[in-house]
A = this chain, B = another copy of it.
């Protein structure tokens, strides 16, 4: 029997997940059978068209009628519609997969995580931090877990884009605090915080983030509304930076911007430990740069496409590189397998909430102009 999946949202993320589901049978034959059952949205015409293109059986304009009818509910809408449908689904015992950041506010994120806890451990509630599913990141995780980098001293994460550097770039919901919660911080910083938690958050590595000093900046205060003569206020950050303290004395710097001219989708992670260092860049996502003092003098560029590299045996021979979208296939494979088996899935709503706490603390720190404790 197939898993019937309902998906709210049919734009960028809708396409990414529909594609991922469509590719499972050929590349992950042990994945559950999935039926793209119903696509949820408001604009019926656009929805019909998208359902056809993305391979959905039906459409619905009211998520409330969908959340308890399906075997899994994907919430891929804008941030301000994350909480209500997700909670309703969980209350109906339906596994939920929600885009990041978990919610525009910490309060909503907490409600969502509570709903997930109440639903029980056999109802997976996943948060869409897809970069955990990059093979090179999984490979880095293996190295870190094996202690190959030793004690962690420094972490660095930055996510650079430039699509808002033009002051005439149009206003969208991503520029609005009510709809998005925050700007670069929530959209990009959420990924960075989650990746660092994933990679070095273990007790025997850097441990939890325990304090932050944050800084948010809006460079352009208002932007033109498309198809109108008006401008609307930008009420979120265009960029943020943060300093981080970890439980085990590591220190970190974080940064994201939509004003980093020349950078399109440049998410980089750097880690220095007592026994080695590593570097990753999303724009070269098949590569991991690794330096281990017992084997190297400098960084070694590892092309993470060997057969025994994470997820790679499902795809192509060594050296045949994967793309950005493959992270979604891996993510869907793991989530849908968890749905089928009633098992756990990570990153969970708890992980989404943990990231949200850090983001909220960065905002709080920015307002207070002082460090904020996360303990």
Which A residues are closer than 8 A to B by beta carbons? 12, 15-16, 18-19, 22-23, 25-27, 29, 53-55, 153-154, 156, 160-163, 165, 213, 215, 217, 219, 239, 241-243, 245, 249, 251-253, 255, 257, 259-266, 272-277, 282-287, 291, 293, 295-303, 305-306, 315-326, 368-371
Contact B264 A303 (CB under 8 A): yes
**Given the contacts A298-B301, A326-B323, A262 and B272 also touching, CB distance less than 8 Å:** yes
- Chain copies in the assembled complex: 4
**Given the contacts A261-B276, A320-B324, A296 and B305 also touching, CB distance less than 8 Å:** no
Contact A257 B300 (CB under 8 A): no
Q: Chain B nearest CB: distance from A293 CB in Å?
A: 6
A368 — which chain B residues lie within 8 A by C-beta? 370
Interchain residue pairs with CB less than 8 A apart (27): A18-B26, A19-B23, A153-B165, A154-B260, A163-B318, A213-B213, A243-B243, A261-B272, A261-B273, A261-B274, A261-B275, A261-B277, A262-B272, A263-B277, A264-B303, A264-B319, A282-B321, A283-B319, A283-B321, A284-B321, A285-B321, A297-B302, A297-B306, A315-B325, A316-B325, A322-B324, A370-B370
A324 to B301 alpha-carbon distance, docked (Å): 19
Contact A26 B16 (CB under 8 A): no
A316 — which chain B residues lie within 8 A by C-beta? 12, 16, 324-325
Interface core residue of A12, A273, A300, A371 (most chain B CB under 10 Å): A300
**Given the contacts A217-B251, A255-B253, A19 and B15 also touching, CB distance less than 8 Å:** no
A285 — which chain B residues lie within 8 A by C-beta? 321
Contact B299 A300 (CB under 8 A): yes
A219 — which chain B residues lie within 8 A by C-beta? 153, 249
A325 — which chain B residues lie within 8 A by C-beta? 315-316, 320, 323
Q: Chain B nearest CB: distance from A172 CB in Å?
A: 13
Contact A272 B291 (CB under 8 A): no
